[in-house]
Structure 1
Amino acid sequence: MAISEAEAVVMEVLWRAAPRSAEEILAEVGPAQDWQEGTVKSLLNRLLKKKAVRAERDGRRYLYTPLLSREKYVSQESKGLLDRLFDGRVAPLVAHFSEQRKLTRKDVAELRKLLKELDDEQP
Protein backbone atom coordinates (compact mmCIF):
# COMPACT_ATOMS: atom_id res chain seq x y z
CA MET A 1 0.00 0.00 0.00
CA ALA A 2 1.52 3.29 -1.09
CA ILE A 3 0.95 6.15 1.34
CA SER A 4 1.86 9.66 0.19
CA GLU A 5 3.80 12.06 2.38
CA ALA A 6 0.66 14.09 3.10
CA GLU A 7 -1.33 10.96 3.93
CA ALA A 8 1.45 9.89 6.29
CA VAL A 9 1.00 13.16 8.23
CA VAL A 10 -2.65 12.23 8.82
CA MET A 11 -1.71 8.66 9.71
CA GLU A 12 0.82 9.89 12.31
CA VAL A 13 -2.01 11.77 14.07
CA LEU A 14 -4.15 8.64 14.07
CA TRP A 15 -1.30 6.41 15.25
CA ARG A 16 -0.78 8.70 18.24
CA ALA A 17 -4.45 8.64 19.27
CA ALA A 18 -7.52 7.18 17.62
CA PRO A 19 -10.31 7.40 16.84
CA ARG A 20 -10.18 11.03 15.72
CA SER A 21 -12.52 13.23 13.72
CA ALA A 22 -11.46 15.21 10.65
CA GLU A 23 -11.81 18.37 12.74
CA GLU A 24 -9.46 17.02 15.42
CA ILE A 25 -6.91 16.03 12.79
CA LEU A 26 -7.17 19.47 11.19
CA ALA A 27 -6.67 21.17 14.57
CA GLU A 28 -3.50 19.16 15.14
CA VAL A 29 -1.81 19.48 11.74
CA GLY A 30 -3.68 22.18 9.82
CA PRO A 31 -1.73 25.23 10.97
CA ALA A 32 1.72 23.64 10.50
CA GLN A 33 0.80 22.21 7.09
CA ASP A 34 -1.30 25.21 6.01
CA TRP A 35 -4.20 22.82 5.33
CA GLN A 36 -7.91 23.55 5.25
CA GLU A 37 -10.71 21.17 6.22
CA GLY A 38 -11.20 20.06 2.61
CA THR A 39 -7.59 18.96 2.36
CA VAL A 40 -7.83 16.77 5.46
CA LYS A 41 -11.12 15.25 4.28
CA SER A 42 -9.64 14.52 0.84
CA LEU A 43 -6.65 12.80 2.44
CA LEU A 44 -8.94 10.79 4.71
CA ASN A 45 -11.03 9.72 1.71
CA ARG A 46 -7.88 8.56 -0.10
CA LEU A 47 -6.83 6.62 3.00
CA LEU A 48 -10.31 5.06 3.21
CA LYS A 49 -10.09 3.91 -0.42
CA LYS A 50 -6.68 2.38 0.28
CA LYS A 51 -8.13 0.68 3.37
CA ALA A 52 -5.48 2.29 5.55
CA VAL A 53 -8.19 3.71 7.84
CA ARG A 54 -11.80 2.97 8.69
CA ALA A 55 -14.56 5.44 9.50
CA GLU A 56 -17.38 5.05 11.98
CA ARG A 57 -20.33 7.39 12.18
CA ASP A 58 -20.54 9.37 15.41
CA GLY A 59 -23.63 11.54 15.22
CA ARG A 60 -23.10 13.99 12.36
CA ARG A 61 -19.39 13.30 12.00
CA TYR A 62 -17.07 10.38 11.33
CA LEU A 63 -14.33 9.06 13.57
CA TYR A 64 -11.27 7.61 11.84
CA THR A 65 -9.13 4.74 13.08
CA PRO A 66 -6.00 3.36 11.40
CA LEU A 67 -6.16 -0.13 9.93
CA LEU A 68 -2.54 0.02 8.77
CA SER A 69 -0.18 -0.19 11.75
CA ARG A 70 2.76 2.17 12.02
CA GLU A 71 5.09 -0.82 12.26
CA LYS A 72 3.83 -2.26 8.97
CA TYR A 73 4.08 1.15 7.29
CA VAL A 74 7.66 1.66 8.48
CA SER A 75 8.56 -1.84 7.34
CA GLN A 76 7.11 -1.23 3.86
CA GLU A 77 8.77 2.16 3.51
CA SER A 78 12.19 0.97 4.70
CA LYS A 79 12.10 -2.08 2.41
CA GLY A 80 11.13 0.17 -0.49
CA LEU A 81 13.99 2.54 0.29
CA LEU A 82 16.49 -0.32 0.50
CA ASP A 83 15.25 -1.86 -2.74
CA ARG A 84 15.11 1.42 -4.72
CA LEU A 85 18.35 3.00 -3.60
CA PHE A 86 20.61 0.25 -2.30
CA ASP A 87 19.66 -2.87 -4.27
CA GLY A 88 18.11 -4.34 -1.12
CA ARG A 89 21.39 -4.26 0.82
CA VAL A 90 21.75 -2.78 4.30
CA ALA A 91 25.54 -2.26 4.37
CA PRO A 92 25.55 0.39 1.58
CA LEU A 93 22.71 2.18 3.38
CA VAL A 94 24.67 2.36 6.63
CA ALA A 95 27.80 3.43 4.73
CA HIS A 96 25.84 6.18 3.00
CA PHE A 97 24.45 7.54 6.25
CA SER A 98 27.83 7.37 7.96
CA GLU A 99 29.30 9.45 5.11
CA GLN A 100 26.46 11.98 5.05
CA ARG A 101 25.94 12.36 8.79
CA LYS A 102 28.57 11.80 11.43
CA LEU A 103 27.67 8.80 13.56
CA THR A 104 27.82 9.40 17.29
CA ARG A 105 29.62 7.03 19.65
CA LYS A 106 26.18 5.83 20.74
CA ASP A 107 25.22 5.09 17.10
CA VAL A 108 28.41 3.09 16.59
CA ALA A 109 27.89 1.20 19.86
CA GLU A 110 24.32 0.33 18.88
CA LEU A 111 25.46 -0.86 15.44
CA ARG A 112 28.19 -3.02 17.02
CA LYS A 113 25.67 -4.52 19.44
CA LEU A 114 23.26 -5.27 16.60
CA LEU A 115 26.00 -6.88 14.50
CA LYS A 116 27.08 -9.02 17.45
CA GLU A 117 23.51 -10.16 18.04
CA LEU A 118 23.10 -10.98 14.36
CA ASP A 119 26.43 -12.81 14.33
CA ASP A 120 25.44 -14.82 17.42
CA GLU A 121 22.22 -15.92 15.66
CA GLN A 122 24.14 -17.35 12.68
CA PRO A 123 24.64 -21.16 12.81
Structure 2
Amino acid sequence: MAERISDAEHAVMEVLWDESPLTAQDVAERVDPDRGWSANTVKTLLGRLLAKNAISHEEDGRRYLYRPAVERGDYVAGESRRLIDRLFGGKLTPLVAHLAERDELSAQDIAEIESLLKALKQ
Protein backbone atom coordinates (compact mmCIF):
# COMPACT_ATOMS: atom_id res chain seq x y z
CA MET A 1 0.00 0.00 0.00
CA ALA A 2 1.91 3.01 -1.26
CA GLU A 3 -0.68 5.73 -0.71
CA ARG A 4 -1.25 7.05 2.80
CA ILE A 5 -4.70 6.70 4.25
CA SER A 6 -6.55 9.65 5.80
CA ASP A 7 -7.84 9.80 9.36
CA ALA A 8 -11.36 9.16 8.08
CA GLU A 9 -10.22 6.14 6.06
CA HIS A 10 -8.34 4.91 9.12
CA ALA A 11 -11.61 4.87 11.10
CA VAL A 12 -13.06 2.53 8.46
CA MET A 13 -9.93 0.36 8.55
CA GLU A 14 -10.23 0.01 12.35
CA VAL A 15 -13.77 -1.37 11.90
CA LEU A 16 -12.56 -3.88 9.31
CA TRP A 17 -9.51 -4.88 11.37
CA ASP A 18 -11.83 -5.61 14.29
CA GLU A 19 -14.22 -7.71 12.20
CA SER A 20 -14.37 -8.75 8.56
CA PRO A 21 -15.65 -9.39 6.02
CA LEU A 22 -18.39 -6.78 6.37
CA THR A 23 -20.86 -5.10 4.02
CA ALA A 24 -20.80 -1.32 3.60
CA GLN A 25 -23.91 -1.15 5.79
CA ASP A 26 -22.19 -3.25 8.48
CA VAL A 27 -19.22 -0.87 8.44
CA ALA A 28 -21.51 2.18 8.64
CA GLU A 29 -23.23 0.69 11.69
CA ARG A 30 -19.91 0.04 13.45
CA VAL A 31 -18.11 3.35 12.82
CA ASP A 32 -18.10 5.67 15.85
CA PRO A 33 -21.57 7.29 15.87
CA ASP A 34 -20.00 10.60 16.99
CA ARG A 35 -18.69 10.96 13.44
CA GLY A 36 -22.27 11.27 12.18
CA TRP A 37 -21.47 9.59 8.87
CA SER A 38 -24.14 8.46 6.44
CA ALA A 39 -23.91 5.11 4.65
CA ASN A 40 -22.95 7.07 1.51
CA THR A 41 -19.98 8.63 3.29
CA VAL A 42 -18.80 5.18 4.36
CA LYS A 43 -19.25 3.87 0.79
CA THR A 44 -17.12 6.76 -0.51
CA LEU A 45 -14.39 5.94 2.01
CA LEU A 46 -14.56 2.23 1.11
CA GLY A 47 -14.13 3.22 -2.56
CA ARG A 48 -11.04 5.27 -1.73
CA LEU A 49 -9.56 2.42 0.31
CA LEU A 50 -10.19 0.00 -2.58
CA ALA A 51 -8.40 2.40 -4.96
CA LYS A 52 -5.43 2.47 -2.54
CA ASN A 53 -5.42 -1.35 -2.28
CA ALA A 54 -5.85 -1.06 1.49
CA ILE A 55 -8.96 -3.27 1.33
CA SER A 56 -10.38 -5.86 -1.02
CA HIS A 57 -13.95 -6.89 -1.75
CA GLU A 58 -15.87 -9.84 -3.06
CA GLU A 59 -19.38 -10.13 -4.42
CA ASP A 60 -21.96 -11.71 -2.17
CA GLY A 61 -25.17 -11.76 -4.18
CA ARG A 62 -26.14 -8.13 -4.77
CA ARG A 63 -23.75 -6.69 -2.20
CA TYR A 64 -20.01 -6.55 -1.59
CA LEU A 65 -18.10 -7.88 1.40
CA TYR A 66 -15.04 -5.85 2.39
CA ARG A 67 -11.90 -6.99 4.19
CA PRO A 68 -8.51 -5.44 4.95
CA ALA A 69 -5.76 -6.12 2.43
CA VAL A 70 -3.12 -4.91 4.88
CA GLU A 71 -2.60 -6.14 8.45
CA ARG A 72 -3.00 -3.63 11.29
CA GLY A 73 0.52 -4.41 12.56
CA ASP A 74 2.07 -3.77 9.14
CA TYR A 75 0.19 -0.48 8.82
CA VAL A 76 1.23 0.67 12.30
CA ALA A 77 4.86 -0.27 11.58
CA GLY A 78 4.84 1.75 8.35
CA GLU A 79 3.20 4.79 9.93
CA SER A 80 5.56 4.66 12.92
CA ARG A 81 8.58 4.51 10.63
CA ARG A 82 7.30 7.46 8.56
CA LEU A 83 6.71 9.53 11.70
CA ILE A 84 10.18 8.81 13.10
CA ASP A 85 11.80 9.46 9.72
CA ARG A 86 9.93 12.72 9.20
CA LEU A 87 10.19 14.23 12.67
CA PHE A 88 13.28 12.65 14.22
CA GLY A 89 15.65 11.95 11.34
CA GLY A 90 14.92 8.23 11.49
CA LYS A 91 16.19 7.87 15.06
CA LEU A 92 14.04 6.58 17.92
CA THR A 93 16.07 8.03 20.82
CA PRO A 94 15.17 11.68 20.06
CA LEU A 95 11.46 10.73 20.09
CA VAL A 96 11.73 9.15 23.55
CA ALA A 97 13.83 12.11 24.75
CA HIS A 98 11.20 14.53 23.40
CA LEU A 99 8.43 12.73 25.30
CA ALA A 100 10.52 12.59 28.48
CA GLU A 101 11.38 16.31 28.32
CA ARG A 102 7.69 17.14 28.14
CA ASP A 103 6.81 14.86 31.08
CA GLU A 104 4.63 12.79 28.77
CA LEU A 105 6.00 9.46 30.00
CA SER A 106 4.20 8.02 33.02
CA ALA A 107 5.94 5.77 35.54
CA GLN A 108 4.17 2.85 33.86
CA ASP A 109 5.42 3.96 30.42
CA ILE A 110 8.98 4.08 31.77
CA ALA A 111 8.62 0.65 33.40
CA GLU A 112 7.29 -0.82 30.13
CA ILE A 113 10.17 0.74 28.15
CA GLU A 114 12.69 -0.65 30.68
CA SER A 115 11.09 -4.09 30.45
CA LEU A 116 11.17 -3.94 26.65
CA LEU A 117 14.84 -2.90 26.65
CA LYS A 118 15.73 -5.78 29.02
CA ALA A 119 13.96 -8.25 26.71
CA LEU A 120 15.75 -6.81 23.65
CA LYS A 121 19.15 -7.22 25.34
CA GLN A 122 18.60 -10.94 25.96
Of the candidates 25, 36, 51, which is equivalent to residue 27 of structure 2? 25
C-alpha spacing 1:31/1:117, structure 2 compared with 1 (3 Å) = closer
Task: Please give the residue correspondences for 1:36-47 in structure 2 after superposition, counting only pairs within 5 Å.
Answer: 36-47=38-49
Question: What's the C-alpha RMSD, in Å, of the aligned pairs?
Answer: 1.5
Identity of aligned residues (%): 49
Amino acid of the structure 1 residue aligned with 2:16:
L
In structure 1, distance between residues paired with 2:48 and 2:82: 21
Gaps of 5+ in 2: none
Partner in structure 2 of residue 90 of structure 1: 92
Partner in structure 1 of residue 66 of structure 2: 64
Gaps of 5+ in 1: none
Deviation at 1:99, TM superposition (A): 2.8
Deviation at 1:31, TM superposition (A): 2.3
Partner in structure 1 of residue 114 of structure 2: 112
Deviation at 1:28, TM superposition (A): 1.3
TM-score w.r.t. the length of structure 2 is 0.89
Following TM superposition, the consecutive aligned residue runs of length 4 or more in structure 1 with deviations greater than 4 angstroms are none
In structure 2, distance between residues paired with 1:30 and 1:82: 29
Deviations 1:54-113 (A, max 9, x none): 111112211101011101100110001001111111111111222334422221122122
C-alpha spacing 1:95/1:36, structure 2 compared with 1 (3 Å) = same
Q: Aligned with 2:65: secondary structure?
A: strand
Q: Aligned with 1:68: secondary structure?
A: coil
Amino acid of the structure 2 residue aligned with 1:6:
A
8 Å contact 1:30–1:36 — kept in the other structure?
A: no
TM-score w.r.t. the length of structure 1 is 0.89
In structure 1, distance between residues paired with 2:68 and 2:108: 34
C-alpha spacing 1:27/1:82, structure 2 compared with 1 (3 Å) = same
